[in-house]
Amino acid sequence: MRDDIQCTYTITLASVVLLGGVVIPGATHADIDIKETKDFITVSDSGNPILEYQRTCNPNKVYVSKLYTPSGLQVLLDSPADHVHHHGLMYALDSGKSTWWTDGEDKGKQVPAGKTKTEHDKQAAVIRQSLDWNTSAGKTILKESRTITAHRGKGLSATLLSWRTVLSVAGSDPAPLATRKHYAGLGIRFVRKMDKIGTFIFPDGSQSTSVRGTEKVTPAKWCAYVTRIDDKPVTVAMFSAPSNFRHPTFLFTMTAPFAYISATLNLYRQPYTLKPDASLDLTYGIAIFDGKRDGSVLERTYQKWLKLVRNRPAAAMRMDAKDHGIVLRYGDGPGRCDILGARDVWVFESGGSYYMHYDAAGSKGWLCSLAVSKDLLTWEKKG
């Protein structure tokens, strides 16, 4: 099993307990639901919508087209007349002479490669997709492994998503990532009713740089837009994982003539070249609240999100086990994978069952033991 496989894992949801027949605490609800059509994947919880994912290229990008507060308010705007290339929650950059930020026949396209995969259970719904970033001539410059996770966690009062993008070079030539766009990255365009009337808040001590008009760039671990839809207050926050390149992330914000948030790499000031033997692994979070939230609530939610992204959800692990097996190191596994002294475990899928090989302490010293599961949530020891 190759160690480098680990860098492609999804790291999004905590509280998964793997050994000893223990079930995830609090897992009493029905599964988060996923429905798929040719163009869309929708995620809902007990009939309440969470998100809609545009799984096919429209016209140049693949993105989250709808995103809802817990009460059902939809906050994303898709392809408005003023900027038709703004698509809800989207990720796009430039490389060399090619751009994937704007739309058009002469622009780059994010083309799905292979089958889009989904998994869901009581704690998470996961969408995973591979994308080829092609030039207008059809040449693949970058490859992306994208994983979007909708979380259900104890004590969460928000719709909470994780967005993970792993970018690598498609060929043998380095890919220069440089742009004059100070807003290129993971961007959110809001519905019209949220424009102009809101305010942005950041952690204490954050220093913003004005770019033009209301546009600012602020290095920070999170930011939030506090606004309203009609008479209903809404708060939308964007989080950045400490493991991200150039963390704290450079957060672009604006309130007029429309509102926008984008997590950027500051490439318009600090270009970066992605080499063929490297990858760019970025994890962001989106939290959407009904009501106005202050900095203390946002910081607590950010810390809860960090705990979620430090471990793998069972749904994502099922994907990994089916694809290529999973290697987990001591202290790096979900929940208590070392509950029986396991130091190095391998999980793989065969015939609808999941098998874990692990080192365990026995009367005659360290032994190779086996546990079997049908769902990656509860395990039966086999020796």
Strand partners, 132: 111, 143
Which tens digits make up the pLDDT trace of 310-355? 866 777 767 776 765 655 554 444 444 444 444 556 677 788 887 7
Helix (H, G, I), strand (E, B) or coil at 370: strand
Within-domain flag for 58: yes
Work out the angle at residue 19's Cα, subtended by the Cα atoms of residues 18 and 24, and round it to the nearest 5 degrees: 45
Within-domain flag for 237: yes
Within-domain flag for 367: no
Give the alpha-carbon dihedral of 249, 282, 310, 361, to 10 degrees: -140
Helix and strand counts by DSSP (H, E) for the chain:
2, 28
How far apart are alpha carbons 308 and 315 in whole angstroms?
13
Q: Whole-angstrom distance between the N-terminal and C-terminal Cα of the chain?
A: 22
* Domain boundaries, position 296: 26-313
pLDDT of 178:
85
Per-residue CA distances from 315 to 121, 177, 266, 320 (Å): 6, 33, 33, 9
- In tens digits, what is the pLDDT along the chain, a chain of 383 residues? 222 222 222 322 222 222 222 222 333 468 899 999 999 999 999 999 999 999 999 999 999 999 999 999 999 999 999 999 999 999 999 999 999 999 999 999 999 999 999 999 888 999 999 999 999 999 999 999 999 999 987 778 999 999 999 999 999 999 999 888 999 999 999 999 999 999 999 999 999 999 999 999 999 999 999 999 999 999 999 999 999 999 999 999 999 999 999 999 999 999 999 999 999 999 999 999 999 999 999 999 999 999 888 866 777 767 776 765 655 554 444 444 444 444 556 677 788 887 776 655 555 555 566 778 777 666 777 75
Within-domain flag for 291: yes
Within-domain flag for 77: yes
How far apart are alpha carbons 301 and 288 in whole angstroms?
11
Within-domain flag for 222: yes
Within-domain flag for 129: yes
Work out the angle at residue 294's Cα, subtended by the Cα atoms of residues 292 and 295, and round it to the nearest 5 degrees: 150
Q: What is the CATH number of the domain that holds 115?
A: 2.70.98
How far apart are alpha carbons 233 and 316 in whole angstroms?
33
Total structural domains within the chain: 1
